[in-house]
């Protein structure tokens, strides 16, 4: 009865309407009802696909809702336009990166328009424009002025594929974030931002952010705060070697020291006879890629440098080693090694024959003793049994497990049975060796040696064993007790012996401070942000090197330092353009050279949200008053892949600018929502590489060679040829269908697979919706607006109640944490179904129907704005959808309806009773009504009613016997 749905025609009509009518232009001076909504701006690479759409469609829906709620919404868009892909294109095809980028930007903008996704285009920015990067350079200068940008020689990550250095964050796991190539280490002089100065604040402020927990956790892990102590050891010659440890309570168990191979003292301390080997090892360590070095699978390596250190707590003389498992970049680049209580040190000590001294009692209070066959006199098993010890006897050997408290009693007993020339051990809180003539403890390096010597003397077969630990390791039974890294009571620890595990670290730290040999210390995993990039397509670092004046910042009034226009970009970027490099010194006017590195593109994107406030201001990066009024961003939406990089850098820049006096807030994004990616099958043929899904026939074979294809469902990407283009789909079904399906697919924070069938479901719904509404609108256009819900017939009252419930459910999703528009749309579908049923039953109430249609159009409008705008214009109320108030929910409406109350009998639903709202809402009346209902009485016949629980409006639960 309605018209056929023709989205092409409808969408063409409204495509430019919303922007032209100015609904999306924020009034920047009105901050009373402001709402700053922000999508992460894209890197404009090639054409957008339906996966990109998810982000922007979600934002557009939220923005439209907020506008109808009367907010002054700022929802700007811009382009993260500097970057490697553009430059690589340029090098390969001779296109200027700007041209390539601009072409892609145009493509994105066209796509947004087709999608009906509107932004405040007056505020568009592109980071590659001089009017933008002038201020990126300005920020660099400000940081430099305040010591937050500095140049230093450091070991850095270098990606041979991208031909540039990378920040730690961009080389996580030893691989280039962009191309996955293993990074190499190089020692270079580069520019850094001192993000570590903000480590503590970056960590602490996370607590108050309304961000997803997993993102906060990732940042916490990345910052990696740990508390402990710095302890000063000395070499035998007196050189101070400071170590950082999180376990000062294990200090008495240090049996060696390890320095990072690059540690400056290595040179000085290495004994002449060890030098060749040490140099060799240093070369070996430097040669490894980060991936190799970080591999935990790898066996420990290292060399002794021929020098000894003195443990300040007990004067023990311990050897100094170098090993690549100690990193120069963390802590002090040197560690004390406590093999008894650190897994890495244990592995190292076992391999290199270094003693292990237990200094922390293992939790659990159990000890073990293995008594070898033939080492004891007859009668021991019986004596043990009689004394109540638990043990197993296998092939004449005894495996005793005892409580720590029984240690003394056990030793007294077993000692009487041990044959001269033999021994047994008690392994637990401390290791004790029980000989027939003595009991020896392994509580220090000397004691360890004494025990070992004695055992080796008594038992020739173990003369190859270098340490007690190595000897004990042979006994499978003991293995789980030789090493542990838990907290426990301190043992063998001089004055602190006996300190319980829960205060051990604190008490030891205090003691160290009293003794003046150590200090409480905090360390972070976070390292300074390396921002230099040896590339062309980025913002030039505004620095000049003068032989006379040294490092000279480019004066503010000379900004921007423009990228030179060149015919063709070479592999060496700016360094191979003499016109750029050669300049004059701003200070002395003499000849000078420009810095040829450009900044990491993450610098560009670390402040763009500030620039939207005054995007075209040529005098300052942002208006201080407005920026403080509009920020922090109220809602920031983007992919979780930026959880560390972009989001951490932005937080740092915001805090730095605040401390420099430019901002009054310290966090840029008050609330963050991360949406999941859209995935699609990608097909891989070992010979023909990626195969577009459209070419893959039944059976998943390669169309070229017939080979079986490898299928993986992954995020859409151009390189894997598994993108779904919005163009064809909009051509066929219209943008509203894509929008509706995109939001209906599932909860937006979750990753989800695109499905053509699912899309058609949205298409079917919109057809039905369109036909229903266009059929009825002409008949209700002139119906009265006002009506009395209470006076409606029952079916109409039910529809009225359902409408109000629907408004409530849709509104709730906009106001919720999760933006569950899948549920909101389901509610709209449900109501549409209910409306169809109602209309099928007979003559509708015209006023109610008009109201239902009206609200329905408004409710669906954020999701499918085209169809909504078209239907609205036909309803004849005038104005545009975005000028209407969002429908409100009437609590009273539901009360007009009879309520169906489920009745549980012994926990199972046995009946349903329909009752008027006021009866169901009153506990007493409800109880009475239910108990007198026919179907309930049937179930109660002949049984004793024990208890009645009546929950008003919900249910009644009966307990019977």
**Residues within window 172-211 making contact with RNA, judged by CB under 7 A:** 172-173
* Window 911-950: residues binding RNA (CB under 7 A): 912, 947, 949
Strand partners, 593: 545, 582
Q: Rounded distance, CA 735 to CA 110, Å?
A: 13
- For residue 635, which phi and psi values (nearest 5 degrees)? -150, 120
Among 260, 371, 384, 481, binds RNA (CB under 7 A): 260
| Angle (CA) 458 462 465, round 5° | 125
Residues 136-175 within binding reach of RNA (CB under 7 A): 172-173
User: DSSP 3-state assignment of 943?
Assistant: coil
Residue 80 or 345: the one with the smaller Cβ distance to RNA is 345
Query: How far, in Å, CA of 119 to CA of 18, rounded?
Result: 10
712 binds RNA (CB under 7 A): no
Nearest-angstrom CA–CA distance, 688 and 706: 11
The verdict on 266 binding RNA (CB under 7 A) reads no
Residues between 597 and 616 with contacts to RNA, criterion CB under 7 A: none
First and final CA of the chain: distance in angstroms? 58
Instruction: Say how far apart CA 622 and CA 857 lie, in whole Å.
Output: 40
Least spacing, CB of residue 490 vs RNA, in Å: 16
Residues 761-780 contacting RNA, CB under 7 A: 761-765, 767-768
Provide CB contacts within 8 A for 395, sequence distance 6+.
373
- Cα–Cα distance for residue pair 453/456, rounded to 1 Å: 5
- Tokens at 452, concatenated: 């070992």
Distance, in Å, from the CA atom of 53 to the CA atom of 727, rounded to the nearest integer, reads: 12
Out of 2, 130, 224, 916, the residue judged to bind RNA by CB under 7 A: 224
> Binding to RNA by residue 117, rule CB under 7 A?
no
Q: Which is closer to RNA, CB of 577 or CB of 824?
A: 824
Cite the beta strand spans of 534-612 per DSSP E. 543-546, 550-553, 582-584, 591-594, 598-599
Question: Of 327 and 925, which has the nearer Cβ to RNA?
Answer: 327
The stretch among 83-91, 116-124, 288-296, 796-804 that binds RNA (CB under 7 A) is 288-296
From 239, 909, 924, 937, residue interacting with RNA (rule: CB under 7 A): 909
- Candidates 822, 874, 922, 931; binder of RNA (CB under 7 A) is 822
Structure tokens at 839: 């209309």
Contact at 8 Å (CB) between 595 and 573? no
CA 766 to CA 630: how far, in whole Å?
A: 38
Residue pair 258/266 in contact (Cβ under 8 Å)? The answer is: no
Closest CB 520 distance from RNA, rounded Å:
13
Question: Per rule CB under 7 A, is residue 244 in the interface with RNA?
Answer: yes
Closer to RNA by Cβ: residue 40 or 223: 223
333 binds RNA (CB under 7 A): yes
The residue count for binding RNA (CB under 7 A) is 81
Largest Cα–Cα separation, the chain: 113
Given 80, 120, 342, 528, the residue binding RNA (CB under 7 A): 342
Within 637-656, which residues bind RNA (CB under 7 A)? 640, 644
Q: Which of 647, 829, 848, 915 binds RNA (CB under 7 A)?
A: 829
Number of alpha carbons in the 13 Å side-chain half-sphere of residue 886: 22
Instruction: Closer to RNA by CB, 925 or 959: give it.
Output: 959
From candidates 101, 255, 499, 523, binder to RNA by CB under 7 A: 523
DSSP letter string, 688-731 = TEEE-GGG--TT-B-TTT-PBPEEEEEE--GGGT----HHHHHH
* CA 479 – CA 356 distance, rounded (Å): 13
Residue 232: CB minimum distance to RNA, A:
15
Nearer to RNA, 150 or 330 (CB): 330
- Cα separation, 382 vs 762, in Å, equals 81
Q: Does 114 bind RNA (CB under 7 A)?
A: no
Stretch that binds RNA, among 264-272, 295-303, 409-417, 783-791 (CB under 7 A): 295-303
Q: For 956, how many CA atoms within 13 A lie in the half-sphere containing its CB?
A: 31
Does 330 bind RNA (CB under 7 A)? Our answer is yes
* Closest CB to RNA among residues 251, 613: 251
Footprint (CB under 7 A) of RNA, residues 416-445: none
| Closer residue to RNA, CB minimum distance, 247 or 655 | 247
Establish if 29 lies at the interface with RNA (CB under 7 A): no
The H or E element that residue 335 is part of is strand 334-337
Binding span for RNA by CB under 7 A among 6-14, 45-53, 507-515, 743-751: 743-751
Nearer to RNA, 114 or 177 (CB): 177
Find the part of the chain contacting RNA (CB under 7 A) among 290-298, 380-388, 408-416, 562-570. Answer: 290-298
Alpha helix locations (H) across 315-444? 343-352, 380-387, 407-415
Alpha-carbon distance of 426 to 478, in angstroms, equals: 10
Under rule CB under 7 A, residue 689 binds RNA? no
Range in contact with RNA (rule: CB under 7 A) among 45-53, 126-134, 219-227, 560-568: 219-227
Give the C-alpha separation, 820 to 334, whole Å: 51
Closest approach of Cβ 300 to RNA, in Å?
A: 6
Does 900 bind RNA (CB under 7 A)? Our answer is yes
Q: Should residue 586 be labelled a site residue for RNA when binding is judged by CB under 7 A?
A: no
Q: Which is nearer to RNA, 554 or 743 (CB)?
A: 743
DSSP letter assigned to residue 751: -
**By C-beta, is 212 or 564 nearer to RNA?**
212
Determine the Cα–Cα distance for residues 353 and 114; give it in Å rounded to an integer.
71
Q: Which of residues 835-894 bind RNA (CB under 7 A)?
A: none
Contact 79, 44 (CB under 8 A): yes
C-alpha distances in angstroms, 228 versus 315, 338, 358, 817?
Answer: 21, 15, 20, 38
User: Cα separation of 389 and 410, whole Å?
Assistant: 8
Residue 737 makes contact with RNA by CB under 7 A: no
Under the criterion CB under 7 A, does residue 675 sit at the interface with RNA? no
Using CB under 7 A as the binding rule, whether residue 73 contacts RNA is answered as no
Q: Single out the residue of 102, 626, 823, 923 in contact with RNA (rule: CB under 7 A).
A: 823
Closer to RNA at the Cβ: 301 or 884? 301
Q: Does 743 bind RNA (CB under 7 A)?
A: no
Q: Does 295 bind RNA (CB under 7 A)?
A: yes
Task: Tell me whether residue 47 or residue 300 sits nearer to RNA (CB atom).
Answer: 300
Helix (H, G, I), strand (E, B) or coil at 461: helix
Q: Does 746 bind RNA (CB under 7 A)?
A: yes
By beta-carbon proximity to RNA, the closer residue of 199 and 426 is 199
Residue 34 vs 802, nearer CB to RNA = 802
- Please pick, from the candidates 326, 360, 882, 919, the single residue that binds RNA as defined by CB under 7 A: 326
Name the DSSP letter for residue 957.
Answer: E
Q: Please choose, from the candidates 320, 356, 312, the residue with its C-alpha nearest in 3D space to the C-alpha of residue 338.
A: 356
Contacts of 62 (CB under 8 A, 6+ apart): 37, 635, 637, 814, 819, 862
Q: Is 247 in the site for RNA (CB under 7 A)?
A: yes
Instruction: Provide the 8-state DSSP code for 747.
Output: -
- Of 735 and 956, which has the nearer Cβ to RNA? 956
Q: Is 895 in the site for RNA (CB under 7 A)?
A: no
269 vs 334, which CB is nearer to RNA? 334
> By C-alpha distance, which of 560, 561, 666 is closest to 207?
666
Q: What is the 3-state secondary structure (H, E, C) of 755-789?
A: CHHHHHHHHHHHHHHHHHHHHHHHHHCCCCCCCCH
| Region near RNA per CB under 7 A, out of 217-225, 234-242, 547-555, 602-610 | 217-225
Q: Which of residues 344-373 bind RNA (CB under 7 A)?
A: 344
Q: Point out which span in 110-118, 324-332, 351-359, 460-468 binds RNA (CB under 7 A).
A: 324-332
């Amino acid at each position: 009865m309605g018209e056929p749905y023709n989205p092409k025609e409808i969408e063409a009509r409204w495509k430019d309407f919303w922007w032209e009518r100015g609904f999306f232009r924020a009034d920047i001076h009105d901050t009373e009802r402001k709402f700053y909504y922000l999508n992460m701006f894209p890197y404009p690479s090639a054409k957008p696909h339906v996966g990109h759409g998810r982000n922007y469609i979600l934002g557009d829906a939220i923005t439209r809702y907020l506008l109808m709620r009367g907010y002054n919404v700022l929802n700007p868009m811009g382009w993260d336009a500097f970057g490697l892909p553009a430059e690589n294109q340029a090098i390969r095809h001779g296109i200027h990166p700007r041209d390539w980028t601009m072409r892609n930007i145009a493509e994105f903008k066209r796509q947004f328009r087709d999608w009906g996704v509107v932004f405040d285009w007056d505020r568009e920015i592109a980071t590659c424009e001089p009017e933008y990067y002038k201020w990126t350079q300005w920020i660099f200068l400000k940081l430099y002025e305040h010591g937050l940008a500095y140049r230093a020689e450091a070991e850095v990550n270098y990606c041979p594929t991208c031909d540039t250095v990378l920040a730690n964050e961009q080389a996580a796991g030893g691989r280039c974030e962009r191309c996955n190539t293993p990074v190499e280490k190089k020692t270079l002089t580069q520019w850094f931002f001192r993000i570590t100065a903000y480590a503590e604040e970056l960590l602490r402020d996370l607590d108050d952010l309304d961000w997803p927990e997993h993102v906060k956790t990732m940042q916490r892990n990345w910052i990696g705060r740990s508390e402990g102590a710095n302890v000063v050891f000395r070499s035998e010659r007196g050189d101070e070697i400071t170590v950082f440890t999180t376990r000062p309570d294990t200090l008495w168990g240090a049996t060696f020291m390890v320095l990072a191979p690059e540690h400056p003292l290595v040179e000085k301390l290495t004994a002449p006879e060890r030098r060749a080997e040490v140099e060799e090892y240093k070369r070996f360590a430097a040669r490894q890629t980060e991936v190799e070095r970080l591999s935990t699978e790898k066996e420990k390596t290292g060399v002794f440098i021929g020098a000894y250190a003195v443990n300040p707590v007990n004067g023990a003389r311990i050897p100094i080693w170098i090993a690549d498992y100690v990193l120069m970049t963390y802590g002090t680049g040197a560690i004390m090694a406590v093999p008894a209580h650190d897994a890495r040190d244990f592995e190292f000590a076992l391999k290199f024959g270094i003693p292990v001294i237990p200094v922390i009692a293992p939790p659990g209070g159990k000890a073990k003793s293995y008594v070898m066959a033939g080492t004891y006199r007859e009668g021991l098993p019986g004596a043990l049994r009689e004394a109540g010890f638990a043990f197993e006897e296998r092939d004449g050997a005894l495996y005793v497990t005892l409580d720590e408290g029984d240690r003394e009693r056990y030793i007294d007993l077993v000692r009487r049975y041990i044959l001269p020339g033999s021994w047994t051990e008690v392994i637990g809180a401390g290791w004790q060796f029980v000989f027939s003539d003595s009991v020896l403890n392994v509580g220090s390096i000397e004691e360890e040696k004494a025990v070992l010597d004695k055992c080796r003397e008594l038992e020739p077969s173990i003369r190859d064993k270098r340490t007690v630990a190595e000897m004990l390791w042979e006994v499978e039974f003991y293995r789980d007790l030789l090493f542990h890294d838990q907290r426990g009571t301190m043992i063998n620890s001089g004055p602190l012996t006996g300190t319980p595990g829960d205060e051990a670290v604190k008490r030891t730290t205090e003691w160290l401070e009293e003794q003046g040999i150590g200090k409480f210390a905090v360390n972070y995993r976070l390292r300074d942000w390396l921002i230099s990039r040896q590339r062309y397509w980025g913002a030039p670092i505004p620095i000049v090197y003068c032989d006379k004046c040294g490092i000279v910042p480019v004066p503010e009034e000379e900004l921007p330092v423009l990228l030179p226009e060149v015919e063709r970009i070479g592999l060496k970027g700016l360094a191979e353009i003499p016109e750029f490099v050669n300049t004059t010194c701003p200070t002395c006017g003499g000849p000078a050279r420009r810095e040829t590195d450009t900044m990491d593109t993450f610098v560009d994107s670390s402040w763009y949200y500030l620039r939207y406030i005054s995007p075209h201001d040529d005098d300052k990066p942002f208006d201080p008053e407005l920026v403080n009024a509009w920020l922090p961003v109220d809602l920031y939406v983007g992919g979780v892949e930026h959880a560390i990089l972009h989001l951490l850098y932005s937080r740092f820049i915001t805090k730095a600018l605040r401390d420099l006096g430019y901002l009054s807030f310290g966090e840029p994004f008050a609330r963050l929502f991360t949406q999941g990616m859209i995935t699609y099958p990608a097909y891989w043929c070992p010979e023909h590489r990626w195969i577009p899904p459209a070419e893959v026939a039944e059976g998943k074979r390669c169309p070229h060679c017939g080979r079986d294809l490898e299928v993986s469902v992954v995020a859409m990407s151009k390189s894997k040829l598994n993108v779904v283009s919005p163009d064809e789909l909009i051509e066929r079904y219209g943008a509203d269908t894509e929008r509706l399906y995109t939001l209906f697919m599932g909860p937006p924070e979750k990753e989800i697979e695109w499905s053509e069938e699912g899309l058609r479901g949205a298409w079917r719904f919109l057809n039905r919706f369109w036909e229903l509404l266009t059929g009825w609108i002409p008949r209700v256009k002139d119906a009265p607006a006002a009506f009395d819900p209470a006076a409606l017939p029952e079916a109409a009252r039910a529809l009225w109640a359902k409408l109000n419930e629907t408004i409530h459910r849709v509104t709730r999703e906009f106001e919720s944490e999760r933006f569950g528009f899948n549920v909101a749309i389901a509610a709209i579908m449900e109501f549409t179904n209910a409306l169809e049923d109602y209309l099928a039953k007979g003559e509708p109430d015209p006023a109610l129907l008009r109201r239902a249609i009206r609200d329905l159009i408004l409710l669906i409008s954020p999701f499918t704005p085209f169809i909504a705008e078209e239907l609205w214009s036909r309803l004849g109320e005038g104005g545009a959808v975005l000028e209407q108030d969002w429908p409100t929910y009437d609590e009273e409406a539901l009360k007009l309806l009879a309520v169906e109350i489920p009745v549980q009998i012994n926990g199972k639903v046995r009946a349903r009773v329909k009752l008027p709202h006021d009866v169901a809402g009153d506990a007493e009346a409800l109880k009475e009504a239910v108990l007198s209902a026919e179907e309930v009485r049937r179930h109660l016949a002949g049984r004793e009613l024990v208890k009645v629980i009546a929950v008003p409006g919900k249910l009644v639960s009966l307990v019977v016997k």
